[in-house]
Structure 1
């Protein structure tokens, strides 16, 4: 196996990667991509739907454009094809729930040093501590399952099976497709 060539540039890139992650998480959490949909909208038009601070929204829209998740043309913003496909709730391929699950997990990762120093956990169990976290986890598992379950269920011959056990499959996505 070839080892990675760590250097100052790659180390600093990794160290600062959080800004991309946090920008993506914020865009999904605020539902920017669904608000824009297949339209090209100005910041004011987007803000009529979101009702947030305009200065902050402008910075977020420009950051999402820098990441090429949004396309900025003059004063209008539109979704890139990947954003429209994976980050808009209108899409059957929406991945936002899993992205929000990752967002909820960040609390424990940014406190990793404290957990190691003190030898104990730094947060409650993320998946079930409140309704938003539970929905993000379960629907995130659904997002992952829907990417594989329909095709896998057609490939497997389950004709001789009388019982199936769905163990750790999130909301039962695989079990539903296998039964179908």
Structure 2
């Protein structure tokens, strides 16, 4: 059915909900609340924020069902405790930080359409940004990796694979766990987090993280499979033809 006027307005105003979530993550509200109920004043104090503004934001989060409110105290939902409290092993706080960074990119779309792609901002080349970017990619992928890898059908004779632009190595780790005889190389421009995660999963004897450009690095040879995930959207058609 064609979009209605009400749906059109809902689409135009959709940014308000995502920005509410991103602002709460930036202020670390979900971590400040933790597993206990907190008053608005307590959360404001913990987040070093204005009490009135915090009160309004907390109620907006209740409206989005990201928090609950009982007897003047705000509580994390089960989803919030699992994915929004930074202390949880399944938190996506770095991913939300990255989406907040992308907010400016989206607001600059008219400028980019008029004048062309602006290129990568200098900030994105700093070690701190690249580390958080890698962590964000892992937070995005760690739940998706296992079921995605389960759809792949590798030959029983497969022994080596290349994860091209593999970022933190989430899919390579899932692939190595599913195929115990498989060894792999993860190639990306930043691999510090990749190596940490490989060690965390005790796969350093089967997975190698290699730093280098996807276009100029020596990719090696004799691979039985090549994995390319969440990569080609970052390049234009000519670059992707060269890559693939």
Q: Shift in Å at residue 165 of structure 1?
A: 1.1
Q: Residue 28 in 1 paired to residue 25 in 2?
A: yes
Match of 1:139 among 129, 135, 138: 135
TM-score (normalised: structure 2): 0.63
> Which has the higher Rg, Structure 1 or Structure 2?
2
Structure 1, residues 7-40: CA drift from partner, whole Å, max 9, x if none?
Answer: 2111111111111011000111111111111111
Supply the distance in 2 between the matched residues of 1:10 and 1:71 (Cα, whole angstroms). Answer: 27
Give the number of the structure whose residues are more often strand, by fraction: 2
Q: Residue 59 in 1 paired to residue 38 in 2?
A: no
Supply the distance in 2 between the matched residues of 1:132 and 1:74 (Cα, whole angstroms). Answer: 41
Aligned residues: 176
Q: Shift in Å at residue 124 of structure 1?
A: 1.7
Q: 1:40 aligns to what SS in structure 2? A: coil
Q: Shift in Å at residue 56 of structure 1?
A: 1.7
Q: Shift in Å at residue 122 of structure 1?
A: 7.7
1:111–1:119 CA distance, 2 compared to 1 (3 A): same
What is residue 83 of structure 1 aligned with on the other side?
Answer: 80
Deviates more, 1:61-70 or 1:160-169: 160-169
CA contact (8 A) 1:108 1:122 kept: no
Q: 1:41 aligns to what SS in structure 2? A: coil
Q: Residue 148 in 1 paired to residue 144 in 2?
A: yes
1:87–1:158 CA distance, 2 compared to 1 (3 A): farther
Which sections of structure 2, spanning at least 5 residues, go unmatched? Answer: 178-244
Which sections of structure 1, spanning at least 5 residues, go unmatched? Answer: none
Supply the distance in 2 between the matched residues of 1:119 and 1:153 (Cα, whole angstroms). Answer: 36
Report which structure shows greater RCO (CA 8 Å, sep ≥6): 1
1:5–1:93 CA distance, 2 compared to 1 (3 A): farther
CA contact (8 A) 1:142 1:171 kept: yes
Give the number of the structure whose residues are more often helix, by fraction: 1
Q: Shift in Å at residue 140 of structure 1?
A: 1.9
Supply the distance in 1 between the matched residues of 2:130 and 2:160 (Cα, whole angstroms). Answer: 28
Q: Shift in Å at residue 112 of structure 1?
A: 1.0
Supply the distance in 2 between the matched residues of 1:171 and 1:105 (Cα, whole angstroms). Answer: 19
What is residue 47 of structure 1 aligned with on the other side?
Answer: 44
